[in-house]
Structure 1
């Protein structure tokens, strides 16, 4: 429960030294070996500004043994409790000269196994043959995201900017966002950031010619209604 108070109050927390340099290098090696073989995969997105792998834990499951080391498993269990599982994962590689930036937004969609008419599930989309939908806020409010930093991340190479405590206001339009207390979330290599999906967050362009690689994993412990299920659901590795 050490970090839960800050997560509930601010919407996020940063924890350093979760991974050793050796663990990070093993994860990077597995990613690089796989990307060399799967360049045409539909879940891979590559441009001069960004390389991303959607459904990351399914595309490169070998990484999970290193991702869920003793430190991370203890952090999850001691902060949130037992019974959580993966619901979505994305690998982001922001190159050294990237002009890619992301404006302030909330993470409002979840990945599900089919499209069906359910009350308060709206804004359906399909990406890489996978359905996504915006569920009721009550579902999003109970979930959390962990961002694993494979490189030192600073304001110069795209560290997340967040609006502190913006997750507590529910779902609302970015036009109504009041920037009262903004934090740039700089994280050392091997550190993590835990955040709530409804926390408004953004990232700027890279200005220091330094790479930024992050593994983004979303978690839940909830069963969806009316036979709907999480399409990327996977267990936390023991």
Structure 2
């Protein structure tokens, strides 16, 4: 990625809340990733499998063999050129929206982070716990610095649950879905090719429709931050991808 392209993408990401970069992974790399996932025994409590969804939470802990393939030179360069140094992984989930899936996700922002314990700390609120995993809404400044990369393992469009987003909603702080003024806002469907990535702000309002064709939508969702948390809490899944070889 040349410097002018990186500058343009950074501007677009800041203004619209997302960018799409295709051809980050070859089809061969994608198939190798899927093979690793398919051959991982689903016997951990972080696996969830139903007719409508297959998900693996704490993905890198559950499927460590995927790490070298995911953090290839292209992805590392994208992170470095768009955000600089000092970022680390804070959360990773694998989502498989199978062809027969009939569920949708309503508009929302990703307002919580995963931490290792609960504590009373000023500015941290809305605590929840699910499968022994604590989540909390941190101060807005942390969310504004965080970003998410969604790695697409299938061609994804409006027919198999591609994300819909409200462009620029990342600039409006906490933006409740029931407050969306559709007369003023612009919705976009994010079509991403197999092997491509979508980079987005957690403050971007996003949703996804039901699948209407027979194609799967498999995505690896990775969250990043450069913020250290106040004691005694720590990031639940902190991983320094720079150390991966």
TM-score by length of 2: 0.94
- 2:39 counterpart SS class: helix
Consecutive unaligned residues in structure 1, runs of 5 or more = none
Query: Mapping of 1:182-221 within 5 angstroms?
Result: 182-221=187-226
Shift, 1:75, TM fit: 0.4
Deviation readout 1:107-147 (Å, 9 max, x if unpaired)? 01100011000011011111121111010111000000000
Q: 2 CA distance for matches of 1:46 and 1:100?
A: 14
Consecutive unaligned residues in structure 2, runs of 5 or more = 1-5
Aligned counterpart, 1:115: 118
Shift, 1:172, TM fit: 2.7
Large movers: runs of 4+ above 3 Å? none
Asked if 1:28 is matched to 2:31, the reply is: no
- 1:132 counterpart SS class: strand
- 1:145 counterpart SS class: strand
Instruction: Decide whether the 8 Å contact of 2:119 with 2:232 is kept in 1.
Output: no
Query: Mapping of 1:116-131 within 5 angstroms?
Result: 116-131=119-134
Aligned counterpart, 1:138: 141
Aligned counterpart, 1:95: 98
Shift, 1:46, TM fit: 1.2
The count of aligned residue pairs is: 235
Asked if 1:17 is matched to 2:23, the reply is: yes
Aligned counterpart, 2:59: 56
